[in-house]
Amino acid sequence: MSRFVLISPNTDFDARLRRAVGGGLAGGVQTFAAVDPANPGELFAKLDQERPEVLIIGPDVPAEDALRLATVFDVQLPELSVILVGETDPDVVLLAMRAGIRDILSPSADPAQIRVLLERACQSYASRNRTAAIQNPDAPRGLVIGVFSPKGGVGKTTIATNIAIGLGKVAPMSVVVVDLDLQFGDIASGLYLNPEHTVTDAVSASASQDSLVLKAFLTVHPSSIYALCAPRTPVEADSITPQQVSRLIAQLAEQFQYVVIDTAPGLPEVGLAALEQCTDVVWVSAMDVPSIRGLRSGLDILRRLDLLPETRHVVLNMADAKSGLSVQDVEATIGAPVDVSIPRSKAVAYSTNRGIPVLQDARRDPAVKGLRQLVARFDPAWRAKAQKKLHRRVVV
């Protein structure tokens, strides 16, 4: 997927741009030495995807041609972020603004400086896309994926962060992970973040009334996802109501393609409020008797309350064939098929302690395969399958 398109015959700048993208941005780069300003449509015919996010008009492209191209793209693709590589001459800056160019980059910029500008351009692209979706009342809501377990210590946060990281590769800057374990949430440490703002800010009156204010309270992660972390102290959590949480999730679902929610153990009021907003629920159990019985009890309660979403995914985490239990034992106890099995793994434990999810680290490990299978279940192509194929017995 080419998120970035460069128009320039300058091979040195092309190499720096590719190093910048390879240093932490999702997506690829596609380069064209030249494009006829009188026929920009030929560019789209050559792209390996329909709509890139950032167009960079690089060095050695005549200024007149660059401005003509930018003007055409501003009309045809107004959400596209166009960057001009050139000197910041006041006259050129004014003409660039009129042509719809979003930013100007120095031709001598190093990969780190280029990466910062590209991150900003991607965020602008995502913001314009979400604003357009909000203005269109018929636009579909994003998927709201809740990760639940009646018992603690089963790896919910690890699974939630890896789901978000995996989906971030599918839909960069269109994923937000929310920590609703309001008293003792670990999303910040799981993603090695030091957030300036938390859920406390996101449910404030100003944020609930303006989605642009809400976005300012999100923390950007290097893997091209957003995070909304838990309050700094348990005392702050006491002031957050289920109604505020429902409103928060609804707002985020209007702006993001995927909203991943990490919840507190058990079924607290805030968790039930989140559950009502979910399109998908991931039920997590470890391979031990207390976890499995806890999950059975929780599912029984929710069935009686008629709160179970239609699309559910049962995950057997830290699975071990030597535990004395089989998948059949687990399924018989909870009364539902196990959809994904994630083996016990030292790599997952190590990545959690480092604050770098294993799907971000690109390790080769049996647990990685299970996590990728789980992420794939939220792909639109998977969801189009017949219902009878959605739940298949796994092997531990």
3-state secondary structure of 385: coil
Give the whole-angstrom CA distance, residue 235 versus residue 220. Answer: 25
pTM of the shown model: 0.65
3-state secondary structure of 261: strand
What's residue 331's pLDDT?
A: 86
Q: Could you report the average pLDDT of every consecutive run of 10 residues in the chain (396 residues)? A: 81 92 82 78 62 85 86 78 84 79 88 88 72 52 90 91 92 92 91 92 86 86 91 88 92 92 90 90 89 88 78 86 81 87 87 88 83 89 58 51
What's residue 325's pLDDT?
A: 81
Please, what are the domains in the chain? 2-135 (3.40.50.2300), 143-389 (3.40.50.300)
- Backbone torsions φ then ψ of 3, nearest 5 degrees: -75, -25
What's residue 90's pLDDT?
A: 74
What's residue 395's pLDDT?
A: 47
Which tokens hold the place of 354? 């480092």
- Using CA atoms, how far residue 330 sits from 30, 149, 336, in Å, is 48, 15, 9
What's residue 207's pLDDT?
A: 86
What's residue 261's pLDDT?
A: 96
Give residues with Cβ within 8 angstroms of 292, minimum separation 6.
285, 325, 329, 330, 333, 334
Which tokens hold the place of 10? 């300058």
